[in-house]
Amino acid sequence: MAAADPQVLALAAQVTESGEQDIPLLLLKLKGVLSSPSLGCEESKKIKQDIYDYGLTQYCLLVLRQDHSRLRGGWATAAQLAEILSHCCVGLEMKEDPEEFYEKFLPSAIDNLLVLGKRLQARFIRAIKDKEKQDFLHWFQTVTNAICWLFHGHIQLAACVLQNDCFLQLLITDDVETAIIMMSVLHNILRINSSVFLQVDKATLHSILDELVYKLSSTTNPAVGSAATKLLLVVAKLSKQLVRLLTARYKGLKGLLNKQWTGKGFDRELNQLLDMLYLEQSSGKGEMQTVLFQKQHQAACIIQATWRGFQTRRRLKKLPQAVTTLQRSFRAKREQELQHLAKQKEDEALKLQMQLQRQRAMRLFHERQLALLERVHASQVNKYMEEMEDKSALTIQRFWRGYRARRIFHQQKQSLKEYKAAVIIQRTACKFLEKRRRRRPLSPWKEPKGLTDEQRLALQQKVDDYIKLHPASQMSEEMSKELHMRAQEKLAQFLLRSRLDQRAAQRRETLLAQVNTDVELLMNAPGLAETTEKDIGVFVSRSVPVATKARQSHNTMLKYTRWPWWKKLGDEFMEDDVIPDEALNTELETLFIGGRKSL
């Protein structure tokens, strides 16, 4: 047997002696070992065989299962290890124990690579920054290339990839970039091993076709449409059975392709697919019946594809939560079982310790008893034994009475609880009834029944004496009317004064506003040398009579609206509220300055 490569030996020794955190970075050195330019075909196979024999390939497989967000190197290291794993497996021919390698190791490698791709796809979708999204997309592309390279070298793995649930989950996504990459992986599978598509089960085949048709119906991206159309064309070219399946399962597919994807840059593949679909449909039915059938089922095709895609997406969205819940329940149950086992072991250890202590105590007791018997005189042995028997009997009786009392107490414990609960309920009910009695209103006074004539005369005498001692103040009707009239006059005078005061306050505010306006106009007025006719017009009013009449009418209306309701019934206060003409003229003159008013 030839000696192993020294680099592989050294690396295997470092991996064996290193900690778990350092292993991923050490495994990256395999890339330099495999890419050495001096290696030929036979040397490369020999190195790959040594890598597998010394367990480095298995280490790569184990590292890919871990959560790389917590490891050194992160997801970039995971992507490089996926690439290294695929290169180590391709070109490796196992002559010893091939069943372990081909039936267990390679399918496990495919599973781990697909799981890693799923994690990277989820990270890419959740990423926010552009730089972070580009990095995750690059690593996802690296992992998918590793998968393609692996089933290029081992064609039988194509069926494993198609039947893997993670592959379908990766394909069913709304993200454009990762969807195009996964469709390219599917295209490579069909190009390498086209017969594998006919070997998979119907559920997997229908799920893949459903997703391709859904992508055609739910997006307008030309790249996604081109990739999906080319895949359907490849599927249709595999066998007539698949063409018949496309026409029967997706009856509105031809109308969808004609209406939505014509003139998008891939008309050659689109026309080939449509020709195959029309040829298959026209072989069994006429052209008119085909058009009618297409119109009837076009909407059904879109609804079916949308509903199936929605169902699958909803099921996939719930899958991580269900897995998380299952894992949490399993871990909690396992923790409980471990705690129960630990407690059981502690109880058994304590029980064993107590038994040992009891045996030790009994042994010591017997030893002391024998030592005492050796010291007692022979004539006193019987007496001593009788005393010990009496003490033992007393001890047994004491323990038995205590056990019986405790048993009786436990039997009466439930009745004692019931008695205490009844006492508490009765106490609470009594407190509640006492509070209700306190809150109950007093009953109205009722005339005492059965008063005699003497009692009535005595009560009447008391009432008369009280009235004489506390006579009520009486007022005649004339005095009441006079008091009312005086109150009305004072109220009217007060209202009149308050109205006049209010009107005077308003007049003062108006005069102050006018003065402020005039001051502002004069402050902003230009000098005499710069004065023009337009400036003069600001200070002169040419509509004095009109303004006076308007002011008078406005004041009259305001005055009328401010009157109270009782004042509008008559004219008794009309003359007192009329504003004199002199005051009106004075107020109007304050509004105009042009030559009439001097400041």
The answer on pLDDT for 479 being more than 90 is no
Q: Indicate the range of 53-57, 417-421, 475-479, 532-536 predicted with least confidence.
A: 532-536
Query: Checking phi first, is residue 264 left (phi over 0); if not, alpha (psi -120 to 50) or beta?
Result: alpha
Q: Which of these, 140, 151, 138, lies nearest to 116 by C-alpha position?
A: 140
Distance CA 153, CA 102 (A): 12
C-beta of residue 316 within 8 angstroms of C-beta of residue 172: yes
Is 78 exposed, middle or buried, given 0-12, 13-18 or 19+ CB atoms closer than 10 A?
Answer: buried
Q: Are 205 and 168 in contact (CB under 8 A)?
A: no
Residue 57: Cβ-neighbour burial (10 angstroms; 0-12, 13-18, 19+): buried
Grade residue 193 by pLDDT with cuts at 50, 70 and 90.
Answer: confident
Residue, of 566 and 399, whose pLDDT is higher: 399
Least confident among 203-207, 404-408, 457-461: 203-207
Kindly report the number of other CB atoms within 10 A of residue 106's CB atom: 21
What's 102's DSSP letter? I
Cα dihedral value 234, 239, 245, 246, nearest 10: 30
Q: What would the mean pLDDT of 52-80 be, rounded to a whole number?
A: 75
pLDDT band at 586 (very low <50, low <70, confident <90, very high): very low
| Rounded average pLDDT over 74-89 | 80
Does the pLDDT at position 574 exceed 70? Answer: no
Q: Is the pLDDT of residue 391 over 70?
A: yes
Mean pLDDT of the chain: 78
Size (the chain), residues: 599
Better pLDDT: 425 or 480: 425
**Residue 27 Cα distances to 79, 189, 575, angstroms:** 12, 29, 113
Give the residue with greater pLDDT, 347 vs 256: 347
Nearest Cα neighbor of 92 from 141, 46, 131 is 46
Q: Scan for tokens 């042009």, then name that residue.
A: 594
For residues 480 and 565, the model is more confident at 480
pTM of the full structure: 0.46
Hey, what are 166's tokens?
């993670």
Question: What's the pLDDT at 430?
Answer: 93
pLDDT tens-digit readout, 111-149: 888 888 888 888 888 877 788 888 888 888 888 888 888
Q: In the prediction, which pLDDT does 427 show?
A: 93
Listing DSSP states for 364-411 in one string gives: HHHHHHHHHHHHS-GGGHHHHHHHHHHHHHHHHHHHHHHHHHHHHHHH
* Sequence-separated contacts (24+) of 334-340 with Cβ below 8 Å: none
Per-residue confidence band for 589, with pLDDT thresholds at 50, 70 and 90:
very low
Which is more confident, 164 or 341?
Answer: 341
Res 570: pLDDT: 52
Residue 596 has a pLDDT of 38
The residue to which tokens 């790959």 are assigned: 48
pLDDT category of residue 344 using cuts at 50, 70 and 90: very high
Range of lowest pLDDT (64-78, 177-191, 395-409, 452-466) = 64-78
CB–CB of 171/183 below 8 Å? Answer: yes
What is the spatial distance between Cα 197 and Cα 260, in angstroms, rounded to a whole number? 27
**At residue 369, does pLDDT exceed 90?**
no
pLDDT, average across residues 366-395:
81
If you write DSSP's letter for every residue of 8-26 in order, what string do you get? HHHHHHHHHHS-TTTHHHH
* pLDDT at residue 71 in the model: 67
Each domain of the chain, given as residue ranges in start order, spans 6-322, 495-524+538-599
Inform me whether the pLDDT recorded for 585 exceeds 70. no
Q: How do residues 484-507 score in pLDDT, each as one tens digit?
A: 899 999 999 999 999 999 999 998
pLDDT at 573 over 60: no
Q: Could you tell me what percent of the chain has a pLDDT over 90?
A: 11
Q: How confident is the model at residue 542 (pLDDT cuts 50, 70, 90)?
A: very low
CATH T-level fold of 6-322: Leucine-rich Repeat Variant (1.25.10)
> Are the C-beta atoms of residues 267 and 226 closer than 8 Å to each other?
no
